[in-house]
Structure 1
Amino acid sequence: MSPTPVPPSRESFYLSLLVAFHILVIIASNYLVQLPIDLFGFHSTWGAFSFPFIFLATDLTVRLIGKAEARSVIARAMVPALIASYIVSVLFHEGRFNGMGALGEFNTFVFRIAFASFAAYVLGQLLDVQVFDRMRRGYVQWWIAPAASSVLGQALDTAAFFSVAFWRSSNPFMAEHWVEIALVDYVIKLSVSLLLFVPMYGVALNAIIRVMKRREALPTTA
C-alpha cells in the first residue's frame, strides 16, 4: 500500500509540526528520565511513558507521507533537540529548577544524557522507519508494521541511550542500576506501545484518511 498523498501545499506545514512534536517529546523525555520510579520492585524512570509518542508520529509519517519525509523530520529535529534538551535538563536537573545561572557552568553529566538521547533518537528512529516501511509493504494486516518497528526500534533506542548515558556514570545509582533500569524501561515502553500506541496508530490513521477523503470530495470553486 503506497503512502496516502498529502497535498503539496500542506506537506511543509505537517512536517514542521512533526519536527516540533519530536523536539518537544525528546525534551520532556530527557527531563523525565532523571526522575526514577519503582514499579513492582524494579527501577525505571518516567521517561519510559513519554518517548513512545515519537514512534507513533514517525510511523504515521511514513504511512501518510513517505519514508524520505520521515527521515527528513529526524534530520531536522535531532540537533535542535540536542541543544534544547541540554538547556532544559541543566535548568531542571534532578527535577528542580536550578536558576539561569546553572547554564554558566558546563554540566558533563547532563550533556552526556542529552548526547545519549541524540544518538538513541537517530539510531532508533532510522531503524523504526526502515522496519515500518519494509513490513508495511510485505503484510496486509495493518498492525504488523507498527508493532514490529516498535519492538526493534525501541530496543535499539533503549540500549543506545542507557549505555551511552549511564555506563560508568558519575551518578552512583544510575551507574549501578542502568542495565536493570534499561530492561524495565524497554518492557514498559514496549508494553505501552503495543497495548496503547499501536491501537492509537490504527485509530489515528483511519481518522486522518477519512478527513483527507472528505477534503478531496469537496467541490472546488473557480
Structure 2
Amino acid sequence: MRGFKHLDTITALFVTVLLVSNIVSTKIVDFGFFTFDGGTLLFPLSYIFGDILTEVYGYARSRKVIWTGFIAALVMSVTFIVVGALPAASDWTYQTAYDQILGLTPRIVIASLIAYSVGEFSNSFILAKLKVATEGRRLWLRTIFSTLVGQVLDTALFIVIAFWGLFPASLIITLVVSNYVFKCGVEILFTPVTYWLTGWLKQQEQEDYYDRRTNFNPFHFRPQQTVD
C-alpha cells in the first residue's frame, strides 16, 4: 500500500478528538438553548475527520482509523476503571473525585464504544456510496447527509444505553435532541473548512479514492482494499 504524507497526522488528530471527548463527556453542560455532555463540544470534529478520511483516502483506510480509535478508547476506558479499583495511597484523598470524573462504569464504556462504532461506520459507508453515486459531485450533500444518519445513530445509542433508567425520560429526550442538533449544526457550519481541507489533501496526496469495488464489511481486515 502506498504511503501518504498526512494520513498519520489525521489519524492522530482523530483519535485525540475521540479520547478527549470521552473524558469530558462526564460533565453535563448548559450551553444556551442546548443541554448536553461536554464531549459534544469537540466530538463533531471526529465526524469531520471521518468525512475527510473517506473522501480522500477511501473507506478501507477510514475503517482502519475507526478501529484504531475504537482500540484506543477501549484501552483508555479499561485503564480508568482498573486504576480506580486499585487501593488508593493513604495520603491521597481524591478517590471520590476520581470515581466521579474518571471512574467510568462498564455501562458507559459499552455505550460509548457501540455508539461510536455504529455511527462512524455508518457515516463512512454512506459517504463512500454517495461519492460513487454522485461521481464525486456535491460534497456538501454527501458530508451533511452521512452525518445526519451517523450522528442520530451515535447520539441515540449512547444516551439510551448509558442513561436509560438513570435519568427521567424527559431528560433523555432533551439530551438526544440537543446533542443531535448541535453536532449536525457544527458539521454544517464547518462545511467550507471540509471543502478546503479535502481539496488541499487531494492535491497534496495525489489521491481521490472512489470505493467502486470496496469490501464494506467493518470486520474485513485484509490489506487489499478492493474485491473481485
**Both proteins in one fold, TM over 0.5:** yes
2:18 matched to which residue of 1? 26
CA contact 1:74–1:122 (8 Å) conserved in 2: yes
1:188 matched to which residue of 2? 182
How far off is 1:128 after superposition?
Answer: 0.5
How far off is 1:85 after superposition?
Answer: 3.6
**CA-atom RMSD, angstroms?**
3.1
Structure 1's unaligned 5+ residue stretches are 1-6, 214-222
How far off is 1:69 after superposition?
Answer: 1.3
Structure 2's unaligned 5+ residue stretches are 85-92, 207-228
CA contact 2:18–2:69 (8 Å) conserved in 1: no
| TM-superposition CA deviations, 1:74-95 (whole Å, max 9, x none) | 1232122122145458989xxx
User: Once the two structures are aligned, what percentage of the paired residues are identical?
Assistant: 23
Task: Report the TM-score, using the length of structure 1 for normalisation.
Answer: 0.74
Distance 1:56 1:90, change over 3 A: farther
CA distance in 1, matches of 2:30, 2:164: 20
1:133 matched to which residue of 2? 128
Match of 2:50 among 58, 72, 87: 58
2:147 matched to which residue of 1? 150
How far off is 1:102 after superposition?
Answer: 5.2
Task: Report the TM-score, using the length of structure 2 for normalisation.
Answer: 0.73
Distance 1:136 1:182, change over 3 A: same
CA distance in 2, matches of 1:89, 1:27: 15
More helix by share: 1
Superposition misfits of 4+ residues, deviation over 6 angstroms: 89-92
How far off is 1:201 after superposition?
Answer: 1.0
| TM-superposition CA deviations, 1:20-75 (whole Å, max 9, x none) | 33332222111222222223454222211211111111111112111111112112
Distance 1:41 1:19, change over 3 A: closer
CA distance in 1, matches of 2:10, 2:77: 17
